[in-house]
Chains A and B, each alone.
Chain A
Amino acid sequence: MLVLAFDTATPAVTAALHDGTRVLAESTTVDARRHGELLAPAIEAVLAESGASLGEVTAVVAGAGPGPYTGLRVGLMTARALGATLGVPAFGVCTLDALAYATESADPFVVVTDARRKELFWARYGDARTRVDGPRVARPHDVPDGLPIVGVRLYEEIVGEVSGPEHLSAGALAALAAERLAGLTPEQALVVARLPEGRIDSEEAAQGRGVLGPAVPIYLRRPDAQIPGAPKKVTA
């Protein structure tokens, strides 16, 4: 097994290779405005560092968000196109699940990332591997309290002190995906990677998603666009 994983759903652009046992190479750069420029070179860098070639990759995994949409799509589009050229399945994993996995925690906690517009994406976990609620998008006041908070250090005066990794590193994403892939036959993996009809753009749709899923973005918000009214008067 050779898993190529990357994520562009947080300000970090991160890529990693995992051989089923360990992370062979990892690259992380924090630059929220340059996902489109940094991702392909990051993939080249982890390949070069590990001495592996793209042809040896057996699965491509992208963080599926939720995350700001422009950057998020870069990762998912890259996964789909790479999967097609390499003839291997492309998967999406909820970015918050990978952040949760990185904590290695055995106790309940909440993961938060920046949703912009004064909101947070959040999900609640029973332990590092078990999502029990979310992902959702909410104002900081509405993030569950009484549990440790992991992730982006924003609105700490409202949500409380935040600990753990602030952004995702693809090593955790790759390791989580490798762990899940190890439990699947190749046929089962292909079924999981199959793109669904329709989009995952609501909280209801996102709740039903497994840890390992198709390379489909988790938007959680519908595009905001106004249906125009009557044309404006030009004569006063």
Chain B
Amino acid sequence: MADQPIVLGIETSCDETGIGIVRGHTLLADTIASSIDEHARFGGVVPEVASRAHLDAMSPTVESALAKAGLRLADIDAIAVTAGPGLAGALLVGVAAAKAYALGLGIPLYGVNHLAAHVAVDQLEHGPLPKPCLAMLVSGGHSSLLLVPDVAKEVISLGSTVDDAAGEAFDKVARVLGLPFPGGPHIDRAARDGSATAIAFPRGKADDGTLDFSFSGLKTAVARYVEKHGGSLSIPDVAASFQEAVVDVLTRKALAACAQHDVHDLLIGGGVAANSRLRALAQERCDAAGVRLRVPRPGLCTDNGAMVAALGANLLEAGIAPSPLTIPADSSLPITTIHV
């Protein structure tokens, strides 16, 4: 497949400067520079800090991805870039870089949707996506259920969070428990020594018949519990019970969506997909329901450039026209807009 186009993908929607290079749907390089350490003391991503870090990191990250792939800039056939959704100032650095690379090399530019890219990345590991498949994207920035008839052409939103994103709830609960930012990995680790049934935390919107999520009430319930039990608190029990409440609702809704739309393939992506309990419970419930589960390895679940390159490859393959050099970075790009 040496004749398949080589796509360089650029991701800067949050704190990771991600550069991925693919040939068709073969991953050649995936390089990430993260500014997360600079944000940790602020307890969350600071947009201006992230934007400065993207500008600093872009050229070295591109160079290291090219070196890893054994390629030169002149070998690249197309550029794909996250055009949204995300932090406006952060997106703008990636979009400016992508336009300049495309202009300088005289190759096509594809401005793509970050969420659709989270779906497309799984092809790099598990081959072509079934048409249709169902995708659940869970991270610090998103919690969405998507019906994906064709990732290059049609993505339908079935539900999303009405308040906090799932990963945001992990970060906030971690803070209440005195665990470092980002909270996900720390809660996952603490939960291993705790009991998931120790505390009955609320399952927001679990049985309301919609495919939407709510994690704000859960976060508040945990904070209340921690305040009340200050001295005698078992952090592992709180972490495990909180985590169970989140992954219970997530997997229940995801399988409800599969059943409603008669889809037999579920894909989970986004940073929270790295959570070990989510993976285990999703597998258990998918097996019981006869649904095939696809979860990319953790490094491809969190934000990265490979996912953007992978979606770019789908767009090229589908013969979709490139983006003009006038495209904006759109911080609230709707999921139904796969490319701009």
Contact = CB atoms under 8 A, between A and B. Distances in A.
Contact of A70 (B51, B325, B328): B51
Contacts of A146: none
B192 interface: no
Interface residues of B, number: 42
A40 interface: yes
Contacts of B280: none
Given A36-B92, A44-B325, A81 B56 contact: no
A228 B42 contact: yes
Contacts, number: 118
B62 interface: yes
Interface in B7-57: 41-43, 46, 48-49, 51-52, 54-56
Central interface residue in A54, A85, A201, by most chain B CB within 10 Å = A85
Interface residues of A, number: 39
A117 interface: no
B42 A227 contact: yes
A54 B99 CA distance: 14
B51 A235 contact: no
Contact of A77 (B48, B93, B175): B93
Contacts of A227: 41-43
A228 B43 contact: yes
Contacts of A38: 326
Contact of A231 (B49, B93, B223, B325): B223
A74 B52 contact: no
A217 interface: yes
Interface stretch (A102-110, A171-179, A218-226): A218-226
Contacts of B223: 231, 234
A86 interface: yes
Interface string B323-336: 00111110000000
Interface string B257-299: 0000000000000000000000000000000000000000000
Interface of A: 34, 36-41, 43-44, 54, 69-70, 73-74, 76-82, 84-86, 195, 199, 201, 217, 219, 223-228, 231, 233-235
29 contacts: A38-B326, A40-B99, A40-B103, A40-B325, A40-B326, A54-B106, A70-B51, A70-B88, A70-B89, A73-B54, A73-B55, A73-B96, A74-B92, A77-B58, A77-B100, A81-B58, A82-B100, A82-B103, A84-B73, A84-B104, A85-B73, A217-B52, A223-B52, A225-B48, A227-B43, A228-B42, A228-B43, A231-B175, A234-B227
